[in-house]
Structure 1
């Protein structure tokens, strides 16, 4: 056989019963969801900042980071909504390498999917319980949604997943803000078609069930840059890109047109320090253009405690083991600068 069936995973209901969300935290998450929704619907002038490590590798430094973020959130909450990145699945272009705590809760040990599901839920629970910040995660595997759908306030669909039919249909059943990234080719039409699919109802199979969805009006785009046929990174956060995106939005049957600019990945060519300049340019263009101010609802930043990245096994506290990230000091300064730029 091509598949070796190792062990049956617990159901989402079993995991949730063992690791429940208390009523106080349910209320916090509902309030955060509504606050984020109001921004995407154009009913609030607050600005979204989705920020945190490239991958949530170890619980303690990630929680340390989120506690720091919560203190900044308290100082900037009149202008910003800070959403910690707790990305528990890491997409790998070739399939090789660390795939996130959902697969490997210990990056130096063998994969353990059951322990991974528990680690994912525990980390998201701790974030809400200890800091009051419900988080963002990338839904690399759509079937994982049911394990944490009561915990997330933001979902991202990555550049390599956005063309996949199952991802598009599954997002149509999400009840939270969901960002669809442009594909690595940079094609805006592909990205907007994925938003169209996500915003409309569908009938399909999900986790062994025949299901109907109502459509997700909070589905929107994330610009993360592109790579041309020669492997050269092409940014798409500039003034002209945003104006073109707005024009394309206007030609489609979409509600709540909104854009998040991912300051890393191909927009920065993974030169993590460039995120500061990129975010400041986006904020400048929001000031200069009423169209861009209305369209761009937030930014996405890869940030951790220590700047840069390290190899697995080096054990530098709070330093990324995947893509390089901004360090905390630069990130904190940037957050306050963003708040000062919001009208």
Structure 2
């Protein structure tokens, strides 16, 4: 448990002085239209708390993910789900279907559902369920946070652990207790703020290679996040604090392609592993490598993305070393549609990047499970080098 220092006692006369003189309206909030207070994280945690079963699932799945990344578990980590959650009912239906598949394949695959609530934008656009939950430009962030916790609670209720990308450094205080795996996206992989954030997270964290393809930037992030940091943050009561972290020993690399093309081929994986092994890493830093079949590795084409997954499965079956996991964007319906209020949308179709359909997803999960089984058989017949 984190140690909390007592607040400094400020004499009344000094408090009054700062209240009267510290802020000058002429120079503050010039470009702010409105400030809408949001309740402290503890309020939301109390309104939708995790019961012992859900808490146990989060704790156990985090450890299982660590075991896969560190090579202690030979299952394949598979992170699958919609590019972004925009409809809680559709997300729950996807979790129900994924739970049924998980029961069949959990001896070979460690399945974690993508439950992404924040979307980084190249310029402007819909920024996710938390930012604009009604998809109509009303930006009811308080409602968005409440819905995000509801979705996570429902997904965990299906026995499926959740994964998300952390974008805003405040958001984790509201949601991280219910998340088993986190990612830092390509646009933020060199951000000091996000490296500091990852250093204090209680879950394994993946850093994606940068948008132009730099693997070293993500490896450097793993090293930075494995170290101690001191920075400004907030606590569960919404108070501004100086956070002091221990460092996160479970950070790892995600290959997601780049503006120059894909990087999921065997040579790119070998090259990335060399960068990881040659870096002056601290104990446990940058353990494991995940390939994201979406984004730059498929040109955001779901048909091509499914082919990438099949190619990766074939390589896994042949015994290729170094692949700890695979990510794919998948939803109930294939493709994507423009964001709009829910009553104008096709149920279960992405409003951000195009996704693989559920039927195709189920096929791919079986193919990946078969590949893990083939890899086990291959290893069983390999001569013992010891």
CA distance in 1, matches of 2:313, 2:204: 21
Q: Write out per-residue CA displacement over residues 191-215 of structure 1, whole angstroms, 9 at most, x where no aligned residue.
A: 1111111111112222321111111
Q: 1:97 aligns with which of 109, 115, 125?
A: 125
1:335 maps to 365
* Corresponding residue number in structure 2 for 1:65: 94
Segments of 5+ residues of structure 1 without an aligned counterpart are 229-233
Which residue of structure 1 lines up, in the alignment, with residue 327 of structure 2?
300
Aligned residue number for residue 259 of structure 1:
289
User: C-alpha distance in 2, partners of 1:17/1:215?
Assistant: 28
Following superposition, the deviation at residue 280 of structure 1 comes to 2.0
Give the unaligned 5+ runs of structure 2: 1-29, 235-239, 376-386
Distance 1:60 1:244 in 2: 42
Equivalent residue in structure 1 for 2:277, among 245, 250, 254: 250
Name which of 227, 245, 254 aligns with 1:213: 245
Number of aligned positions between the proteins: 333
Q: How does 1:5-16 map to 2 (within 5 A)?
A: 5-16=34-45
Instruction: Kindly indicate whether residue 107 of structure 2 is the aligned counterpart of residue 75 of structure 1.
Output: no
CA distance in 2, matches of 1:109, 1:160: 24
Given candidates 310, 313, 328, the residue that maps to 1:283 is 313
Separation of aligned partners in 2, 1:122 and 1:298 = 27
Judge conservation of contact 2:313–2:367 (CA < 8 Å) in 1.
no
Show the counterpart of 1:40.
Answer: 69
Taking the aligned partners of 2:296 and 2:359, their CA distance within structure 1 comes to 23
1:151 maps to 2:178: yes
Q: Structure 1 CA distance, aligned partners of 2:287 and 2:315?
A: 17
TM-superposed deviation, 1:36: 1.2
For 1:7 and 1:311, locate their aligned partners in 2 and report how far apart those are by CA, in whole Å. 28
Structure 2 equivalent of residue 319 of structure 1: 349
Q: Deviation per CA, 1:270-296, whole angstroms, max 9, x where unpaired?
A: 11111122112223333445xx42x21
Shift of 1:175: 1.5
Q: Partners in 2 of 1:144 and 1:277 — Cα distance?
A: 34
Q: 1:196 maps to which residue?
A: 223
Give the Cα–Cα distance (whole angstroms) in 1 for the partners of residues 90 and 152 of structure 2: 14
Residue 184 of structure 1 deviates from its aligned partner by: 0.4
Aligned to 2:237: none
What whole-Å deviation, never above 9, does each CA across 1:127-185 have from its counterpart, x for those lacking one? 112x0112001101121111112100010111101111100111000121111001101
Q: Which of 145, 150, 153 is the aligned partner of 1:117?
A: 145
Report SS of the residue matched to 2:253: strand
Residue 312 of structure 1 and its aligned partner are, at CA, apart by 2.6
TM-score, length of structure 2 as denominator length: 0.84
Tell me by how many angstroms 1:28 deviates.
Answer: 1.8
Matched with 1:231 is none
The answer to whether 1:165 aligns with 2:197 is no
Determine which structure has more spread, i.e. the larger CA radius of gyration: 2
Cα RMSD (Å) of the superposition?
1.3
Inter-partner Cα distance in structure 2 for 1:87 and 1:18: 21
- Kindly report structure 1 stretches of 4+ aligned residues shifted beyond 4 Å: none
CA contact (8 A) 2:118 2:167 kept: yes
Give the drift of 1:109. Answer: 4.7
How far, CA to CA, are the matches of 1:113 and 1:306 in structure 2? 27
1:20 aligns with 2:49: yes
Q: 1:287 to 1:341 in 2, by over 3 A?
A: closer
Task: Give the distance between the partners of 1:86 and 1:203, measured in 2 at CA.
Answer: 29
Partner of 1:226: 258
